[in-house]
């Protein structure tokens, strides 16, 4: 077992009071889908240790993981065997999340696919602490919205795959009648596709123009709709109801190339620094070599002590191709919080916390 060393420098927290001046930034981090109890506890332990370091800087970290994981396709891509694609562990996944939440005091964000499964969320999770996520594919599944809306859980609504229409978004959010907090998550939208699969010259020209804009890329998984926050937060409903905004760069950029994986961390920081997002949601999976879904878009907690063979990358990439890690991202968010005057931190404390972040290892375990 590897753990963070705790020594005499930490007495500084008792001597110097940290003054918080505004609401916290929230990072939601963890695997796309929970696949085993061991995985959940290993990731939860590392996220908990990072959380403890960054909390005084006005940064909270929640644990994300799908017990249910809706997928676009139904069968795995294997010509010899027709096997149903992995869609999550279901109820047992919520049990694992419940255990890690209690062990490490981590708020949970997990997706609900059906109104029939609300009973499991009440059984295993805590309404005053945890969040039910509504995915892009079910963002207008009204029976589900009404059922979730009748609970006190916090709720995270992702934008529909076809994009963002402010009336649609508001209509979905208005059905969350009793939820203690509402978060709207911007997660990218599908690229425009001709129904016959054949692109016209005009369509090709339009897409090339669109994908050459500064916030887009032809290799991204989805179109990047990061700027829509500027429209939504000026609408009276969003202001009056204090809707929080979340940005999910993992589902926007995906992991087809080193460049796309690099943009996940870069845009997580950009979303907070340049656009003022309240939350960011990032897929983090340290042992992604055998992950059953979205493994290539998962970032790592850190590369300190990493065994690349246990990751989807397989071997160490060139230095300039390594994406930012969760530790890198929180380090930048600390600097943002301090530069904005959101928190007052003594220089010596920041140096100590920098050493603590450096001591986080990929192979840490409970």
Residue boundaries of the structural domains of the chain: 8-71+85-358
DSSP code, position 93: H
Residue 42 has pLDDT above 50, yes or no: yes
CATH superfamily of 8-71+85-358: Aldolase class I (3.20.20.70)
Phi first, then psi: what are they for 301, rounded to 5°?
-60, -45
* Window from 17-21, 96-100, 109-113, 360-364 with minimum mean pLDDT: 17-21
* 124 vs 68: CA distance, rounded Å: 14
Residue 90 has pLDDT above 50, yes or no: yes
Using alpha carbons, list the distances in angstroms from residue 36 to 39, 89, 90, 96.
5, 9, 12, 8
Q: What is the pLDDT at residue 17?
A: 33
Average pLDDT over residues 190-196: 82
Crossing angle of helices 326-339 and 37-54, rounded to 10°: 20
Residue 359 has pLDDT above 60, yes or no: yes
Residues 6 or more apart whose CB falls under 8 angstroms from that of 74 comprise: 84, 85
What are 204's two structure tokens?
């090709």
Residue 212 has pLDDT above 50, yes or no: yes
What are 304's two structure tokens?
């300190």
Residue 76 has pLDDT above 90, yes or no: no
Of all residues in the chain, the percent with pLDDT exceeding 90 is: 80
Residue 6 has pLDDT above 50, yes or no: no
Residue 180 has pLDDT above 70, yes or no: yes
Q: What is the pLDDT at residue 75?
A: 86
Q: For residues 344 and 302, which has the higher predicted lDDT (pLDDT)?
A: 302
* Window from 18-32, 40-54, 63-77, 89-103 with minimum mean pLDDT: 18-32
DSSP-derived pairing of the beta strands 343-344 and 19-20: antiparallel
What are 313's two structure tokens?
């990358």
Q: What is the pLDDT at residue 206?
A: 87
Residue 79 has pLDDT above 80, yes or no: no
Average per-residue pLDDT for the chain: 91
Residue 4 has pLDDT above 80, yes or no: no
């Amino acid at each position: 077992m590897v753990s963070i060393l705790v020594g005499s420098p930490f007495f500084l927290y008792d001597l110097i009071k940290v003054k918080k001046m505004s609401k916290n930034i929230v990072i939601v981090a963890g695997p796309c889908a929970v696949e085993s109890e061991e995985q959940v506890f290993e990731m939860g332990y590392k996220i908990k240790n990072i959380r403890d370091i960054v909390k005084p800087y006005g940064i909270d970290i929640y644990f994300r993981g799908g017990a249910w994981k809706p997928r676009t396709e139904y069968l795995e891509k294997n010509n010899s065997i027709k096997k149903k694609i992995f869609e999550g562990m279901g109820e047992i996944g919520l049990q694992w999340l419940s255990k890690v939440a209690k062990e490490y005091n981590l708020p949970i964000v997990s997706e609900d696919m059906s109104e029939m499964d609300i009973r499991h969320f009440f059984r295993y999770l805590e309404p005053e602490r945890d969040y039910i996520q509504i995915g892009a594919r079910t963002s207008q599944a009204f029976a589900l919205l009404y059922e979730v809306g009748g609970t006190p859980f916090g709720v995270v609504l992702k934008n529909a795959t076809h994009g963002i229409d402010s009336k649609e978004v508001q209509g979905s959010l208005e059905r969350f009648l009793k939820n203690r907090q509402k978060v709207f998550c911007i997660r990218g939208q599908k690229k425009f596709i001709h129904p016959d699969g054949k692109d016209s010259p005009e369509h090709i020209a339009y897409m090339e123009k669109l994908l050459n804009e500064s916030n887009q890329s032809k290799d991204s998984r989805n179109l990047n709709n990061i700027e829509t926050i500027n429209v939504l937060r000026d609408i009276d409903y969003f202001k009056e109801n204090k809707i929080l905004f979340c940005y999910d760069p993992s589902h926007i950029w995906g992991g087809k190339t080193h460049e796309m994986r690099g943009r996940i961390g870069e845009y997580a920081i950009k979303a907070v620094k340049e656009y003022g997002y309240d939350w960011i949601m990032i897929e983090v999976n340290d042992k992604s070599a055998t992950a059953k879904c979205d493994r290539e878009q998962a970032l790592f907690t850190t590369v300190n002590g990493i065994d690349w063979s246990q990751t989807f990358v397989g071997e160490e990439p060139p230095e300039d191709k390594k994406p930012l890690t969760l530790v890198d991202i929180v380090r930048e968010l600390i600097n943002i919080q301090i530069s904005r005057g959101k928190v007052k931190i003594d220089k010596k404390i920041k140096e100590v916390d920098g050493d603590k972040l450096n001591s986080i290892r990929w192979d840490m375990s409970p």
